[in-house]
Structure formats: C-alpha cells, structure tokens
Structure 1
Amino acid sequence: MSVEIRTGLIKDEQEEGLPQAPNSFVDEEETNEPSLHGETLELERRIQRLKAFLYAFGFIQDTALRCILSWLFFVSFGVALPSTTVYITRYGAFNGFKFQYFILVSYVVLAAVSLHYISSKLRKHRIHRFLFVEHNQGRGERFRKEYIMRIKGFFTVLVCWMLPCLFVKIISGIAWIVYNHKVPWWEDIAILFCLIAPWVYLATIYLCACLLFNLVCNSLVIDFEEYGRLLESNSHVLNFLKEHMRLRHHLSKISHRFRMFLLVILFSVTASQFITLLQTTSYSGTINFVNAVDFVVASTIQVVGISLCLHAAAKITHRAQGVASVASRWHAMATCCSAADVEDQKSLDCAANTFTDQDFMLSSNESESDLESMSSTRFPNTRFAANVSSYQKREALVLYLQTNPGGITLFGFSVDRGLINTIFCLEVTLVTFVLGTSFVVAAN
C-alpha cells in the first residue's frame, strides 16, 4: 500500500513539474500502516464535512445549475429581502433608513467578493487541491493530525465570532420591537427574522472566505515545521533543496490565487470603516444601543475577517523566512561536528578500519609498505575531500534559502509584520483625520 501511495505522489509531482518530496516524509507510513489508514480516513471525513458546509452556502459551484442557484439565492435572500425589510420598517436608523442601507451595502459587497473569489478557485482547483491536501498520504502522520485540528478550528473560530454577534443582534432586535411595538407580535417576529437571517448568511460567507484563506496558509505552516524537522535527519542536501522548491511553488500558488481577494477586502473594509466613523462622529442626534449596535457588529465582523487573513499571511511568511535561520544553524552544527571528527584521532583510526574491499582491491599490486602508508595517509585525505564536498553543498543550500525567503506576496510586497505595521499606521492616520475633521465641523 505504501509503495502505491508513494508512486501516486511522485506521479502527481512529475505532472505538475514539481521536485519530488524526500523519502523522510513517508517513513512513518511505512512503519505504521494502521495509523496511516485511520488518520487518512479521519482527514477525509473532515474535508467532506467542510465540503458539505461550503455546498450549503453556495461556495462550490461545480455545475452551471449550482452556479445559477447560488447567485440567485444570494441576490434574493441576501440583497432583496433585507433591502425590502429595511425600506418598510426603517429599522435601526440614525437619521432615516439610509444608514441601515449603508451597513447592508458593506455586507453585500464583502460577501459578494468572497463568494466570487472562493467559488471561482474551488471550481477551478476542486476542494483537495484548493486546500493543498491532494495526495496527503505523502505527508507524515503529524501533518494529518495537525490539519484535522486546523479544520476543527475553522468551525470553532466561526462559531465563536458569529454567536456573540448574533446574540447582540437578537437583543437589539427585541429591544427595537418592544420600543416600537405597533403591529401584531407575529409581524414583529417576521420582520426580525427577515433582518437577522440575511445578516447571518452574508456575515458567514465573508468570515468563511477569510477562514479558508487562513486554513490554506496553515497547511503550509505545518509543512514548514516539518521542513525544519527534516533538516535534523541525515537526508541528502538535494532532498532539502527539492522540498523547499516544492514549498516555494505552493506559496506562489497561494499568493497568486488570493492576492486580488486580499486587496479588495482590505480596501472595502477600510472604506466601510471610514464612512462608518464619519457618519457616527458627524451625527448630532442621540446614539443608543438600538441604533448603534448594527455599526458595532458590522465593524467587528469586518475587522475580524481582515485580521484573520493578515495574521495567516504574516505567519506563513515569517515561517518561510525563518527556514534560512534553521538551515544556517544546521549548517554550522554539521560543520563543527565534521571538523571535530577530523581532529579526533580515535575517530580517524576507527574510520580507517571501515575501508571497503574495493579500496584494498585497487591497491592489491602495491607492496606491504605501500599498503601501510596508505592506511595511515589515504583515509584522512578522502575524508577531508568528502567534508569539503558536503560543506559546499550545505553552503549552497543555505545561500539559496537566504536569497529565496518566500512567503505570501501582493504584487511583489511580502505580507509580513512590516507591511501590517504600515497598514496600521495608515489606518490610524485615517482615523485621526476623520476625528479632526468632525471636531472642527462640530466646533464651527
């Protein structure tokens, strides 16, 4: 079974033009067959549950019929229904219902962008290739366990952020019904449902897209952690190079697939927060729990989504850049150990007794004194040449890793802590500008 799995992995890598993964990643499967089978089945079950969840929210549009139904439901349930309800009730307005319409527009834009980008990538790459778990049998047992935990975390994070916001929305809706009770109770409950259900649908689509990007990045985080452990093995340097080239190829894929998605939601969230702050600071009326909760919930969902994306991108970028440091430490330790072995006479004497029959066959025509001289001089020279060759290979690998750090990029700009700090400074500047403008206007 393990031979067939390995053959399938090599075939897939050859078809994509990727370097083959080193054998050290499949040693565990060859020695623990029952565990491999159980972990693989569990991972597949988790992926199928995630796939069913994505089907339910219209992300998987593998046929023309599903695509039409998904967008038709989005327009009717996510756009038309709440728009009509807001127009009829003027619910949650500061100064008329235009503010509630603005909140709805921000949700619709983010959800539409998320649904479009994720559905197009899933339609092109399918679920396993999209999540980078196709032929996952080629990975170690630790990868499958970690990825199962990441999929569980996908639903955990989604529930942990949606439930509190939903609770706040329901409480504010009940307070609005009690305060403006003018129609039968069943009409108030129907109105509340028509306002909250579309919000749950739109907010879930947006957060799911951000969490999917987070999940994809975490798959590469696991791979880079495994790569750091691979350096501790005795594999050939060429295996390290091939595995890093494969990981760089996957990083390039993620950057290419999600760069426009990240940029669009970043600009959309920034514009939404800018307008929200401008409207709330320039409003001269009374702001209370009922009319302000929609802004608070909308801002929370938007900021959480973009934070999940930026955190995942920065995490995988710094993990990829940290590989060079790990390789440098490994190179230094290997070099020091090799030098100690050469200087240790006992090690040389022990290694001198490990000549192969071929070494002696090549010198069988020599005299006994020549053999004695070779046994005392030839092995150190051979060992020294081998050490020099190994050193040069390690040095080339370290130089390659230092000059090819990798990571998630947006049109050449690495998404790391430096970029996030820059975005934070721009956001603070924008907030300061809006507050200053609002105070000046109020003072006048």
Structure 2
Amino acid sequence: MGNPRTQIEEESPTEVQVTLLGPEQTQEEEEEEEEKDTQLDPILRRLDIFLCFFGFHQSSLLGFLLSWAAFLLLGVSIPVVILRVSSCYDCEKHQIYNFELDIIVSRSCLAAVSLGCVSHNLRKYGIRKFLFVDRLHGQMLRFRKEYTEKIQGFFRLLFFWIFPCFLLKTACEVIRIAYAYHDFWWQSVAMLLASVISWIYLITISLTACLLFNLVCNLQVIHLENYGKLLERDSDVSVFIEEHLRLRLHLSKISHRFRIFLLLAFLVVTASQFVTLFRAMASRRIINFINECDFAVFSIVQVVGIILCLNAAVKISHRAQGVVSVVCRWHALLTCNSTDASELRVSNSAGSLEAMNPSGSLPMNYSESDLESLDYLAHPINTQPVSYMSTYHKRQAFVTYLQSNPGGITIFGWTVDRALINTIFFLEFTLVLFVLGNTLGLTAN
C-alpha cells in the first residue's frame, strides 16, 4: 500500500469523502442521500408539473404541437380578436388600435422567445440537469436543503410579481368592458375572462423563463459561497483547482444555454419600449386611460424580468470573481505564517499563529449587497516548514490560474458584470434621449 495521504490527494473531492469513511459509514451516507433526495424530489416534481402545464415540456412531437397551438390560440389569436371587436375604425381610433396592437405583438414576441429557449433546454437536458441538481452535479449532501429553499423561492417570487399585476390588469379590463357597448352581458364577461386568461398565460411564460435563469444562477451561488470553506481544510491545491474547474464548467454551460434567451429578451424589450414610446410621443391623442394602464403593467413585467436576469448574472459573476481575492488573501496569510514558522522552529508553531490572528479566521470584506455571504474563512495553522517552498509554488500557481480565469456569466464572450450593466444603462439612456428628441421635434412641427 502507498502513502494514504498521497492516495487521497489523487482522488476527486467526492472520492476523498468515500475513502475516509468506512463501509458502514458509506452505506449510511448513501441511505441519507436517498432520504434527502426524497425531500428534494417533491419540489422538483412540483416545478416540473408547473412547467409542463404552461407548455415548456416539448419532449415529444405531440407535446410540441399542443404547446405551440395553445400559444397561438391564447397568446396571439384571442388578444387580437378582442382588440378588433372592441375597437372602432375611424381615423383616430385606428391609431389607437395600432398602438394597442403593438403592445400585443411585443407581449407575444417576448413570451415566444421565453417559451422557445427554455423548452429547448428542458427537452435536451431534463429538469435535474437543467438546474444542476442531479447526482453528478449536486454532489454535496448538505446542499439538498438549500436547493429546496431556492426552488420554493422561485414560486414565491413568481407569485409576488404576477398577483399585483393581475389585479391591475383585471381592473383595466373591467373598465374597458364597461366602456365598450355590447348587446348581451355574457359577451362582456366572456371578453373579460378571455383577455385576463390570455394575459396571465403570456406574462407567466415570460416571467417563468427569467426566474428560471435566476434560479439556476442562485443554485450555483450556493457552490461558489461554499468554495471558500475548502480553504479551511489542509488539502492539496489540486483539490481546489479541480473544484474550481467544475464550477467554471457549470458557469460555461449556463452561459451557453441562456445566451440566446438573454440576448433576444433584451432586444425584444428594448425594441418594444422604444417603438411604443415613439408612437406615444408622435401622437399624444392615441393615449387613454385603458391602453396607458395596459402599457404600464406590461412595462413593469418586462423591466422586472430583465432586472431579475441581469441581477442573477451579475451576482454570480461577482461571486466567481470574488473567489480570486479570497484565495489571494489566503495565499498571502499562509505564506506569512509559513515564513514565521520556519524562523521560529523552537517555539510553538500553533501558538505563534494564533497570537498573530486571535480569531483564527480570515475576514472576507464583501459589499453591502453580499451580506448573506460568509463572514469569516478559517485558515489552516498546522503549516509544515519543511515543505514550505513546494507548497508555496503550488499556491502561487493556483493564484495565477485564478487571476487568469475569474469566471462568470458570459454572452458571446462578454462577461455580464457591473461594468457591462453600466454600459447597458448609458446606452439605453442615450437611445431614450434620441427618441425623445426626434418625437418632440415632430410634435412641435
């Protein structure tokens, strides 16, 4: 048999845990994993049923046809028919009709992009691999509870945004139906129900896609925040590199799966907002209380969806890039402690190190938006002076690797971080000023 330590270091983190445990403990761990999987399975099944109900599951030809047939009926045909029935056709009313038709087209396009992109990923990977919570990607048993909490948060956040918008939309449609004259009361009720159901269907699809991306990112944030805990153990640097490679692979997969959705959703939202703004500023007579309320509610949903996506992407990119600074501080502190230990070989090494840092931990300075992160990161104090130079070069190579590979969510090579968000903000602000300048000039003329 070889050296046990060398044998452990050559294995993956999961294999290390299995090697350190005896046969009985390994069996108990597998039983515990199965038990905790039964706690995670119900919430995943609930999410799967929810996605299937709104047509995101298109694994078969029949499911594909039913999903898009329902979309064309509820998302396109019903709103256009209701708009035609409730509109007049003189000159001014025809302009109002075109303005409201633009809102319907924008809403349908955003929902179509969301449905197409998410259903493609679900059909290709399945719900567990799509969320990275399968046995291959999830790995750690202690993450099962956090996975469940994040998925439950998905439903809470979806309800939190849809319910108040639903109330506003219902009030708007009641006013519309009361304003439009119909021969029979049941026609008004049918139009009200059809309009609200169609709106709820489209908005739920759009927000679900944005929240799914938010959920996938938040599930990976769990692993990134746990990455610092690896430094608490006296493990080989290769274990840290292997875990970081795994996390980077997951971030690359997330970026690849959602880059088309993020890009198209942002373009659709931007185009719809500016087309509507241009029409509204060019002819102020087309604005009334009904279509203004409808446009306001839809704009809220659009902006909330984009903010949820960008916030999740920036958060996970910030966490991934923050790992570099944490490891640099860990390397610097460990190097200083190792040097001191080599100079003071007669003295008690552990006592000297504890005297240098009474708390025995390394403070991690996050911004105010990162208060949920770990506050302290403990560092190993059983440094071996004999192998100081060897371990130093390994740590230095590890730091150099992290500095060259910070990680994060990317869209065709562009990292979605705070710098990109500032660029997007100023670009959007410039376009708004351009549209306002042109439309106000046309109105003045």
Tell me the TM-score normalized by structure 2. Answer: 0.83
Report the Cα offset of residue 141 of structure 1: 4.1
Aligned letter for 1:407?
G
Does the Cα contact within 8 Å between 1:94 and 1:291 map onto a contact in 2? no
The residue aligned with 2:434 is 433
Looking at structure 2, the residues matched to 349 and 36 of structure 1 have their Cα atoms a distance apart, in angstroms, of 40
Does the Cα contact within 8 Å between 2:409 and 2:416 map onto a contact in 1? yes
Pairwise mapping of residues 178-197 of structure 1 onto structure 2 (< 5 A)? 178-197=178-197
Does the Cα contact within 8 Å between 1:317 and 1:408 map onto a contact in 2? yes
In structure 2, relative to structure 1, the CA distance for the partners of 1:176 and 1:342 (3 Å cut) is: same
In structure 2, relative to structure 1, the CA distance for the partners of 1:129 and 1:138 (3 Å cut) is: closer
Looking at structure 1, the residues matched to 311 and 17 of structure 2 have their Cα atoms a distance apart, in angstroms, of 28
Looking at structure 2, the residues matched to 138 and 207 of structure 1 have their Cα atoms a distance apart, in angstroms, of 26
1:73 and 2:74 are equivalent in the alignment: no
Report the Cα offset of residue 282 of structure 1: 2.2
Aligned letter for 1:67?
F
In structure 2, relative to structure 1, the CA distance for the partners of 1:98 and 1:25 (3 Å cut) is: farther
Aligned letter for 2:128?
H
Looking at structure 2, the residues matched to 200 and 315 of structure 1 have their Cα atoms a distance apart, in angstroms, of 29
Aligned mate of 2:49, from 37, 48, 52: 52
Specify every segment of 5 or more residues in structure 1 that has no aligned partner in the other structure, as ranges. Answer: 1-18, 351-381
1:300 and 2:300 are equivalent in the alignment: yes
What SS does the aligned partner of 1:58 have?
coil
Looking at structure 1, the residues matched to 336 and 242 of structure 2 have their Cα atoms a distance apart, in angstroms, of 25
Report the Cα offset of residue 227 of structure 1: 0.7
The residue aligned with 1:389 is 390
Report the Cα offset of residue 185 of structure 1: 2.0
In structure 2, relative to structure 1, the CA distance for the partners of 1:34 and 1:433 (3 Å cut) is: same
1:418 and 2:419 are equivalent in the alignment: yes
Looking at structure 1, the residues matched to 17 and 324 of structure 2 have their Cα atoms a distance apart, in angstroms, of 20
Pairwise mapping of residues 17-166 of structure 1 onto structure 2 (< 5 A)? 20-22=12-14, 36-90=33-87, 95-135=95-135, 139-166=139-166
In structure 2, relative to structure 1, the CA distance for the partners of 1:287 and 1:108 (3 Å cut) is: closer
What SS does the aligned partner of 1:285 have?
helix
Aligned letter for 1:53?
F
Q: Select the structure of larger CA radius of gyration.
A: 1
RMSD: 2.5
In structure 2, relative to structure 1, the CA distance for the partners of 1:414 and 1:320 (3 Å cut) is: same
The Cα offsets for residues 360-413 of structure 1, whole Å up to 9 and x where unpaired, read as xxxxxxxxxxxxxxxxxxxxxx95441111111111111101110011111111
Aligned letter for 2:48?
K
Does the Cα contact within 8 Å between 1:25 and 1:138 map onto a contact in 2? no
The residue aligned with 1:400 is 401
The residue aligned with 1:217 is 217
Percent identity of equivalent pairs: 48
Report the Cα offset of residue 212 of structure 1: 0.8
Report the Cα offset of residue 182 of structure 1: 3.6
In structure 2, relative to structure 1, the CA distance for the partners of 1:22 and 1:393 (3 Å cut) is: farther
Aligned letter for 2:108?
V
Does the Cα contact within 8 Å between 2:341 and 2:349 map onto a contact in 1? no
The residue aligned with 1:443 is 444
Report the Cα offset of residue 271 of structure 1: 0.2
Looking at structure 2, the residues matched to 200 and 94 of structure 1 have their Cα atoms a distance apart, in angstroms, of 26
Aligned residues: 394
Report the Cα offset of residue 22 of structure 1: 4.9
Specify every segment of 5 or more residues in structure 2 that has no aligned partner in the other structure, as ranges. Answer: 1-10, 351-382
